[in-house]
Amino acid sequence: MDLSRVDLNLLVYLDVLLREKSVTRAASYLGLTQPAMSNGLRRLRELFDDPLLVRTSEGMSATELATQLQPNVREILAQVEKTVQPTRSFDAGASERVFRIMASDYAESTLMPRVLRLIRQLAPHVTLDVLTPSDVSFLDVEQGRVDMAINRFDTIPQSFHQRILWKDYFACLMSTGNPILQEPFTLDTYLQANHIWVSKTGVGVGVGVNPRDVQRLGWVDEALGKLGRKRRISVFTRHYQVAMLLAEQHDVMATLPCRAAWLQKDNPGLVAKPPPFTIPPIELKMAWSPLLQHNPDHQWLRRCIVDVAEELNEEFEPFARDFIPQGPEPGQASER
């Protein structure tokens, strides 16, 4: 192939077509007419000798080749943007930028208050818009409409950049008046309690919970299921703050990540104990679009978040020692 004959705009068209999977939406996004976008798709098909997008019962779907091309095209365009973008720095003190961050309730409780405090100190005119996972989709992050996603991810698009902020273990949070504390804290006494379930939040709109579907209940119940055991769940909530408030009642217990329990370390009415069985640790990650990888504003935001996470890691370490399971950890999460 003669590269001098390849129009770089075609890669831009391909990138948007594969995101939108619609000629009409891609044309609207790029400010083109539909016939111009259709002509671009025709030229792309000739260039790659592949249909790239085919019509199915569910709309337009990417071919196998197009799926393989997508992360490479995105990386090429990101590098081009970096090359042609004028060199500039981010003036935090003067900026009036709005940063939009999707954060799970867990991240919003444990990380975001300290992030907000730091940003207010360094960039008093910057606005932080914190969104919930049900507010956004991966497509919003991929297209740069949302600057950052901070969550525990089961899956993440291959093109995203990501960084682990911390690993977290689990704690059982309960009232100091809970009667099970009068006995040795074993698996049997754990299962005698009434439990508060807290959602493992993903991305997208959530649905109601089926208490009998253990495979969908999350980390704690999956770990119990592997032991052939099941706990009695009295309350389902999607909010860690609610779970911690409910744990003050004498007859219920919340099993939740240690950093959430750490928030209650100065509450004289609550006590945290290591679970009497092994629950695989979770990883909190931040993920962002390759479109923003080289953006100076975004680089500053990422440094702020990492600095806060490292500071919290140091403060949290003494509390965490009692909750790290002994021996090898099951189910280590993978990282690209």
pLDDT, tens digit, for every residue of 109-122?
Answer: 999 999 999 999 99
pLDDT in tens, 276-332: 999 999 999 999 988 888 889 999 999 999 999 999 999 999 999 889 876 444 443
62 is in which domain, residue-wise? Answer: 3-84
Q: Do 159 and 30 fall into the same domain?
A: no
Establish if 216 belongs to a structural domain: yes
Q: Which of 84, 106, 124 is a domain's end point? A: 84
Q: Which of 7-11, 241-245, 301-305 has the highest mean pLDDT?
A: 301-305
Q: Does 193 lie in the same domain as 175? A: yes
Residue 330 lies in a domain: no
Are 290 and 162 members of one domain? yes
User: With bands split at pLDDT 50, 70 and 90, how would you rate the model's confidence at 261?
Assistant: very high
SS (H, E, C) the chain: CCHHHCCHHHHHHHHHHHHHCCHHHHHHHHCCCHHHHHHHHHHHHHHHCCCCEEEECCEEEECHHHHHHHHHHHHHHHHHHHHHCCCCCCCCCCCCCEEEEEECHHHHHHCHHHHHHHHHHHCCCCEEEEECHHHCCHHHHHCCCCCEEEECCCCCCCCCEEEEEEEECEEEEEECCCHHHHCCCCHHHHHHCEEEEECCCCCCCCCCCCCCCHHHCCHHHHHHHHCCCCCEEEEEECCHHHHHHHCCCCCEEEEEEHHHHHCCCCCCCEEEECCCCCCCCEEEEEEECHHHCCCHHHHHHHHHHHHHHHHHHHHHHHHHHHHCCCCCCCCCCCCC
Domain final residue, candidates 265, 280, 295: 280
pLDDT confidence tier of residue 32, bands split at 50, 70 and 90: confident
Per-residue pLDDT reduced to its tens digit, 145-188:
899 999 988 788 877 889 999 999 999 999 999 999 999 999 99
Confidence of residue 336 (pLDDT cuts 50, 70, 90): very low
* One domain, residues 287 and 268: no
Q: Dihedral of the CA atoms 155, 157, 160, 164 (nearest 10)?
A: 0
Last-in-domain residue among 27, 54, 84: 84
Query: In this structure, are 265 and 184 located in the same domain?
Result: yes
pLDDT at 88: 64
Number of residues that make up the chain: 336
Are 176 and 275 in the same domain?
yes
Q: Which long-range contacts (CB under 8 A, 24 or more apart) does 2-9 make?
A: 6/47, 7/43, 8/80, 9/40
Based on the domain organization, do 266 and 177 belong to the same domain? Answer: yes
Query: Is residue 213 scored above 70 in pLDDT?
Result: no
Report if residue 315 sits inside a domain.
Answer: yes
For residue 195, give the nearest of 159, 154, 145, 229 by alpha carbon: 229
- Mark whether 194 and 273 lie in a shared domain: yes
- Rounded Cα distance between 143 and 138, Å, is 9
Report pLDDT for 36. Answer: 87
- Interval 218-234: pLDDT, tens: 889 999 999 999 999 99
Q: Give the per-residue pLDDT at 333.
A: 36
Give the bridge partners for 173, in sequence order.
254, 272
Domain identity same for 174 and 269? yes
Higher-scoring residue by pLDDT: 209, 238: 238
CATH number, domain at 76? 1.10.10.10
Task: Name the band, by pLDDT with cuts 50, 70 and 90, for residue 4.
Answer: low
| Sign of the torsion formed by the C-alpha atoms of 280, 321, 166 and 97 | positive
CA 186 to chain CA mean position, Å: 33
- Max mean pLDDT among 150-164, 210-224, 247-261 falls in 247-261
Q: What percent of the chain has pLDDT over 70?
A: 88
Quick one: average pLDDT of 119-136? 93
**Which is nearest to 196 in space by CA: 258, 244, 261?**
244
187 inside domain: yes
- Single out the residue of 128, 170, 161 nearest to residue 260, CA to CA: 170
Q: Are 170 and 242 in contact (CB under 8 A)?
A: no
Instruction: Specify the pLDDT at position 31.
Output: 76
Cβ–Cβ < 8 Å for 224, 230? yes
Residue 194 has pLDDT above 80, yes or no: yes
Residue 327: inside a domain: no
Predicted TM-score (pTM) of this structure: 0.71
In a domain, 336, yes or no: no
49 part of a folded domain: yes
CATH of the domain at 291: 3.40.190.10
Residues 287 and 144 in one domain: yes
Residues 174 and 134 occupy one common structural domain: no
21 and 50, same domain (yes or no): yes
- Mean pLDDT over the full length of the chain: 86
Within a domain: residue 57?
Answer: yes
What pLDDT does 70 receive? 87
How many separate domains does the chain show?
3
| Span 79-93, average pLDDT | 74
pLDDT recorded at residue 331: 40
Average pLDDT, integer, range 193-221: 65
